[in-house]
């Protein structure tokens, strides 16, 4: 039990479609981070929330990406008009101590 | 210069041997350092954290930190086949604590 649940675990989508991922920290956490990991690389920071406020976004987060954390609990990450380069594992994490299981996105 | 670098290629070690992994970082102000283990297709799992110069031991794992030289290493003693994984080094940024990761080192323990 990592204390964080991510849904779905796997998503296959056609290029150009929109996808949305969800992250549910099991216990209360003020902070929540999203990372993206491509094959053979370490996770890369995407964005960070302090409660419901999105405080920082990476340059990796193009206009096609949007993230929310309503009420400071669960968070969603949406990718619009997906591209093959978006294929990656998307990870959320409330702290350095643990990560969710991740959502593996494949864009075909 | 990347924030965190792990430059070694895949490491193959015989069962029972010591696996040694190195990581360098660019920010001299970094105060904490983390090692994660990641099995194929799974998310990273925190296995060691270190904050002070010197060695920190936890079971078969030892983390070594040298802030003057800006490197942190991980030793895995008595390597087991279950240690076969990718090991990621990470350093948090001051303020928002977002993590900067190295690209990881794959370790293969040969029975």
Report A:85-104 residues touching B (Cβ under 8 A). Answer: 89, 91, 93, 95-102, 104
Select the residue of A40, A42, A96 nearest B46 (Cβ to Cβ).
A96
pLDDT of residue A2: 60
Mean pLDDT of B36-53: 96
Contacts of A98 in chain B (CB under 8 A): 45-46
**Whether the predicted pLDDT of B14 surpasses 90:** yes
Give the integer Cα–Cα distance in Å for A64 and A71: 23
pLDDT of residue B17: 98
**Whether the predicted pLDDT of A1 surpasses 70:** no
**Whether the predicted pLDDT of A67 surpasses 80:** yes
pLDDT band at A36 (very low <50, low <70, confident <90, very high): very high
Q: Which two tokens stand for residue A42?
A: 């370490």
What is the DSSP pairing of strand A75-79 with strand A19-25?
antiparallel
On average, the pLDDT of chain A sits at 93
Whether the upstream peptide bond of residue A8 has omega within 30° of 0, thus cis, is yes
**Whether the predicted pLDDT of A105 surpasses 70:** yes
**Whether the predicted pLDDT of A61 surpasses 90:** no
pLDDT of residue B94: 78
- How far is residue A59 from each of residues A74, A95, B92, measured CA to CA in Å? 23, 21, 18
Evaluate whether B65 touches B33 at the Cβ level (below 8 Å). Answer: yes
Mean pLDDT of A53-64: 91
Q: Shortest Cα distance from A15 to chain B (angstroms)?
A: 22
Of A102 and A71, the one with more pLDDT: A102
pLDDT of residue B8: 76
Share of chain A above pLDDT 90, in %: 80
Contacts of B4 in chain A (CB under 8 A): 42
Write the DSSP string, A24-93.
EESS--SEEEEEEE-TTS--EEEEEEETTEEEEE-TT--TTEEEE-GGGS-EEEEESS--GGG-EEEEEE
Select the residue of B97, B98, B102 nearest A42 (Cβ to Cβ).
B102
CB contact under 8 A, A89 and B102: no
pLDDT band at A22 (very low <50, low <70, confident <90, very high): very high
pLDDT of residue B7: 82
Cα dihedral value B85, A89, A86, A46, nearest 10: -100
pLDDT of residue A78: 98
- How far is residue B93 from each of residues A27, A53, B30, B98, measured CA to CA in Å? 24, 19, 7, 6
């Amino acid at each position: 039990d990592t204390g964080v649940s991510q849904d779905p675990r796997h998503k296959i989508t056609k290029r150009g479609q929109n996808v949305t991922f969800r992250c549910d920290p099991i216990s209360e956490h003020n902070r929540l981070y999203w990372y993206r990991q491509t094959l053979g690389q370490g996770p890369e920071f995407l964005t960070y929330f302090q409660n419901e406020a999105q405080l920082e976004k990476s340059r990796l987060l193009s206009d096609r990406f949007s993230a929310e954390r309503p009420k400071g609990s669960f968070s969603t990450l949406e990718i619009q008009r997906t591209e093959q380069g978006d294929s990656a594992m998307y990870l959320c994490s409330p702290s350095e101590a643990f990560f969710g299981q991740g959502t593996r996105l494949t864009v075909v | 210069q990347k924030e965190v670098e792990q430059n070694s290629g895949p490491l193959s070690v015989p069962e029972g041997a010591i696996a040694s992994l190195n990581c360098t970082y660019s920010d001299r102000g970094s105060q904490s350092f983390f090692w994660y283990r990641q099995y194929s297709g799974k998310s990273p799992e925190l296995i060691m954290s270190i904050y002070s110069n010197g060695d920190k031991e936890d079971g078969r794992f030892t983390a070594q930190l040298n802030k003057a030289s800006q490197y942190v290493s991980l030793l895995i003693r008595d390597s087991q086949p279950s240690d076969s994984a990718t090991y990621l080094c990470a350093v948090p940024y001051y303020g928002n604590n977002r993590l900067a990761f190295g690209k990881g080192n794959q370790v293969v323990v040969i029975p």
